[in-house]
Amino acid sequence: MNSLKSILFSFTIFIDILSGQENSFDSFDSLDLINKLSILRTEFLGDSNDLMAYGVVAIEDAKVNWDSINKVKFKIKYHYTDYTYYNDPINLNKILLNKIYGENSILTKLNIDVGEVKRQNRFLISSIEFGIIDSFYPFKLKITSDFFNELKFYEINSFDTLLDYDIGYLCFAPILCSIYPNIHFNLAFYNSSDQYLNDSELTNLLTLDKFSTIIQLIITNSNKLHGVNSHFDKIFIQIPLEYYYKPVKTLKEATSYLKKNGFLYFYQNKSPASKGLDQAKSYSPDKISNHLEKSGLKLIEKLELRTKTIYKCIKTDTSID
């Protein structure tokens, strides 16, 4: 009976989401995919109290003028660091909330630790930014034709080995592992010298227990993935290329872990990836070609979506791994 309810629930979402849209999957494949994502959504929602807290934060976030938010954070950080509130995080949090949300916001009045609320809901927030869940409570599943087309573009097969070279969306690996059986996903996390979390804490922060056997976190303090001797069928760079200080270095290093017949994917945004994030200028087609040539890559296809352009590349020299 529960299985029937799940199927009917998924079918309702399927009708609401896909009506009048073209997508790359047939109806049965789409229904199965949405059912799997419905189960994953439940995993992302987590604790009900944390979820309700983020529901309030999401509403208050929508009222903020995010064009100036980075300046506000900068002023808070440098104005108060050496003064009274440096060792008084409760008062410092109150000041920050007042500057961002205003004194009449419920967040300010209750002095809510918004950072902690967002940390507890980090996978949900990532899936909202990725575009598969609504921005506001009750955070319904939201699947568009773009999502189906993106999945098809990746051409993922059973037993593929995948590498997220630089973790962008926390939800990305769980999404693919929920949809595709028998794949193995590796996440590369670059632990800066000022990072105060140990490896165990980082693993708890960046992964889900449900996927502990198929998603492996690789922690390194440099561009080199120490201890990684294997090569991968698919490599994803899930931070927009335009945000890298040295994109050629990033592409070249990622390419060194790609199998000779593998694919490397990266993307550029058509709009800011998230609120409060300054929009970097996208590279021109000529600049992209230049970066790829220097990195030992060749562009074979690109996918134009509403919010981003995804590039699919192969090694220029396919004679070696």
SS3 readout for the chain: CHHHHHHHHHHHHHHHHHCCCCCCCCHHHHHHHHHHHHHHHHHHHCCHHHHHHHHHHHHHHCCCCCCCHHHHHHHHHHHHCCCHHHHCHHHHHHHHHHHHHCCCCHHHHCCCCHHHHHHHCHHHHHHHHHCCECCCCCCCECCCHHHHHHHHHHCCCCCCEEEEEECCCCCHHHHHHHHCCCCEEEEEEECCCCCCCCHHHHHHHHCCHHHCCCEEEEEECCCCCCCCCCCEEEEEECCCHHHCCCHHHHHHHHHCCEEEEEEEEEEEECCCCCCCCCCCCCCCHHHHHHHHHHHCEEEEEEEECCCEEEEEEEECCCCCC
Average pLDDT, stretch 302-318?
Answer: 92
Structure tokens that stand for 221 in this block: 């303090």
Say if CB 223 and CB 195 are below 8 A apart: no
CA atoms within 13 A on the CB side of 300: 13
Structure tokens that stand for 176 in this block: 């693919």
Structure tokens that stand for 180 in this block: 């595709």
Q: Where in the chain are the domains?
A: 48-120, 155-315
User: Lowest mean pLDDT: which of 100-109, 128-137, 207-216, 258-267?
Assistant: 207-216
Name which residue leads in pLDDT, 124 or 82. Answer: 124
Confidence band of 3 (pLDDT split at 50, 70, 90): very low
Average pLDDT, stretch 168-183?
Answer: 92
pLDDT score recorded for residue 229? 63
With a cut of 70, say whether residue 313 has pLDDT above it.
yes
Average pLDDT, stretch 206-210?
Answer: 86
State yes or no: cis peptide before 272, omega within 30 of 0: no
pLDDT score recorded for residue 27? 54
Structure tokens that stand for 314 in this block: 């192969």
Q: What is the pTM of this model?
A: 0.83
Q: What is the CA radius of gyration of the chain?
A: 21
pLDDT score recorded for residue 108? 94
Sign for the pseudo-dihedral over CA of 223, 224, 226, 230: positive
With a cut of 60, say whether residue 43 has pLDDT above it.
yes
Average pLDDT, stretch 42-52?
Answer: 91
pLDDT score recorded for residue 228? 67
Name which residue leads in pLDDT, 84 or 7. Answer: 84
Say if CB 239 and CB 166 are below 8 A apart: yes
With a cut of 50, say whether residue 59 has pLDDT above it.
yes
Backbone φ and ψ of 316, nearest 5°: -65, -45
- Token pair 């954070």 is at which residue? 73
Architecture (CATH level 2) of domain 155-315:
3-Layer(aba) Sandwich (3.40)
Closest by CA position to 130, among listed 176, 161, 189 = 176
* First CA to last CA distance, the chain: 50
Q: Which residues pair with 187 in a beta bridge?
A: 164, 217
With a cut of 60, say whether residue 209 has pLDDT above it.
yes
Q: What is the mean pLDDT of the chain?
A: 81
Residue 135's identity, in one-letter code, is S
Structure tokens that stand for 22 in this block: 């073209």
With a cut of 90, say whether residue 107 has pLDDT above it.
yes
